[in-house]
Structure 1
């Protein structure tokens, strides 16, 4: 199932400046999409209060787009496989801009969820296509840096977009925050229209490629399992970070500041992981799991806001900031021959885990205590720690050491 175009433009023949401007436009697009998906994390309390729904029900604003993105990641890629990738990306980012503006004016929670459904379609499709777009925008020797920048949009949205949106919402209301992200999506649309070159379809992904890659490569399966454990564990707790901080006596203005601290720590974690994954990928994943476990345990044991709570959030931000780049690098490293199929699986599980984490966290908050989500989250992070590739590496080193001693 292949569609070949006549003489598609080569990245090597384009101006490097234009190529990097196109990369920046795609980065802005993916930043606006991922910020849109995660924005409600910092606004659950005001949205729930204004629209008269509980915190657990308000958590559906994170669950719905996550579930939809998990399905749309491969489906949109397959369904649009014969269309110009520039046109597809522009339509998807425009859809997310319009959906956020609709949320800003919604007078009923059902309307908000309908808009969140559209955001899920955009996030899944855009991320899957944008993940490999750098190869067609810049020369081959610049592709790794361009890809890192594009995925930096995912990471920066996760660790900086949410606290910034929360800050805007606290200052001027949650509707203004949604409207601001909608305007950001429309700005990304304009930039992509002006800066992206035509990107005719070259090869389509078949749905049958996905199970084939999953069955044939045990390391891909391990990466998908780690994504499920780490991301689900994170979002079970992080979706309800605002109620957790409120229970510890942290006010709205201080919550916004702490989320901003979390975001800044996440950016540091992102760059630190980016410097390590090329040489110590497996150890980096193990370290991330340990840091997330320690941070959630520390916050769970803290009954009041203060230095310990701030330290726990900084540690948490450092750990989660390293997650997307580390897991994405693992997937690309273990399956270099079918990167599009493997990336689609990864994007699906990443977004499904966001949805499941928010949903399970909501059920826990409704039936147990808010602090319980921290214990469940750290349990899943701990499970990732003991099932990852590093125990296998340790065992292999011990066996090799015994063999050397036996000789």
Structure 2
């Protein structure tokens, strides 16, 4: 693959400024996509919807992200990569304004659909863009910068959103994101150099990878794992309110503890990944299911819940690290197609998981939601097994 770093007109400082702008975009996307998790109750009340219906705002963005991640490589094949990324950031900006001004549940869902297009498009193109921006020896550092934006938003979006929602209202939270995203859009336009699309190397349709048995098994494992996790994660606020009776300050503390624990989970998983990859792919969802179930009998004790939520955050953060590592080993010959398929699988699982959790919450109870999520996590561990079915036949 060619790289722009050798072009004499592009200074090194601009290259890293571009990487930083993309990391900022990643942070804004994560914050925008998952902010409703900490604001479900007030959003539902204001728009006269059930909490389960409000949770579908997570689902609809996932649906559009799935479709986008599968089609955007061919749709944008002749377009300048910079213009595509700037356009996606523009869609995010429009989405945030529509969410903040939403007068009905239908408007909210339409705005979240636009956000889903941005999510699917950005993450499908992000790694390939970074690979074209920096030389091969700097790629790990550049990807680390990109995913730092992801980690920061994952840690702070929910607790900050919860706190600010109590101060300025849920609409104010989304309005607060608008100027930040506008600045990010300008930075992307200024820092990312013109990146004319490279000619296709004939990698074929993204879905063709499912013809490989080990990839099909892995994607099933991915969907069950992330689906189970998001069936639970999406509805943590109703659990904290109904079981733990947490006020806004306590809720923010719980979500912040969960987010900060993610740094420890990411670091711990990375330290042992090379030797224990398949053990982690099977063990992490089992551990997450166990912690989820343990929350139910402990739900009325704030400090017990706090300890379990911290454990939940650490385990959950290690899961995408494990699956990303599998991707680098399991689809070495077609990493971009594999990445697109992974994005689609994860986003589809978010959609299905949030829908399942909301349905169980509306028709049964929050306990049923947690049990349903835990069941999917256990099924994912069964699919992974000892890891043999996830390994290419050549191994």
TM-score (norm 1): 0.89
The answer for the alignment partner of 1:213 in structure 2 is 209
Residue correspondence of structure 1 range 324-403 to structure 2 within 5 A: 324-388=320-384, 390=386, 392=388
Alignment partner for residue 246 of structure 1, among 230, 241, 246?
241
User: How far 1:250 moved relative to its partner?
Assistant: 1.4
User: How far 1:81 moved relative to its partner?
Assistant: 1.3
CA spacing shift, 1:125–1:38, aligned 2, 3 Å: same
What SS does structure 1 have at the residue aligned with 2:298? coil
Greater mean deviation of Cα atoms: 101-110 or 226-235: 101-110
Aligned pairs, how many?
387
CA spacing shift, 1:288–1:203, aligned 2, 3 Å: farther
Contact 2:4 2:134 in 1 (8 A): no
What SS does structure 2 have at the residue aligned with 1:65? helix
Q: Which runs of 5+ in 2 are unaligned?
A: 390-395
User: How far 1:304 moved relative to its partner?
Assistant: 0.1
CA spacing shift, 1:12–1:379, aligned 2, 3 Å: farther
Residue correspondence of structure 1 range 302-317 to structure 2 within 5 A: 302-317=298-313
User: How far 1:207 moved relative to its partner?
Assistant: 9.1
The answer to whether residue 120 in structure 2 is matched with residue 124 in structure 1 is yes
What SS does structure 2 have at the residue aligned with 1:56? helix
What SS does structure 1 have at the residue aligned with 2:232? helix
- 1:2-23: CA deviation from partner (whole Å, max 9, x where unpaired): xx9xx97335855443322211
Greater mean deviation of Cα atoms: 351-360 or 184-193: 184-193
C-alpha separation in 2, matches of 1:207 and 1:56: 40
C-alpha separation in 1, matches of 2:363 and 2:120: 31
C-alpha separation in 2, matches of 1:299 and 1:308: 8
Contact 2:162 2:248 in 1 (8 A): no
The answer to whether residue 229 in structure 2 is matched with residue 234 in structure 1 is yes
Question: What value does the CA root-mean-square deviation take over the aligned residues?
Answer: 2.1
CA spacing shift, 1:20–1:207, aligned 2, 3 Å: same
What SS does structure 2 have at the residue aligned with 1:390? coil
What SS does structure 1 have at the residue aligned with 2:304? helix
C-alpha separation in 2, matches of 1:355 and 1:166: 22
Alignment partner for residue 64 of structure 2, among 46, 68, 75?
68
The answer to whether residue 219 in structure 2 is matched with residue 224 in structure 1 is yes
Alignment partner for residue 52 of structure 2, among 51, 56, 60?
56
Greater mean deviation of Cα atoms: 190-199 or 148-157: 148-157
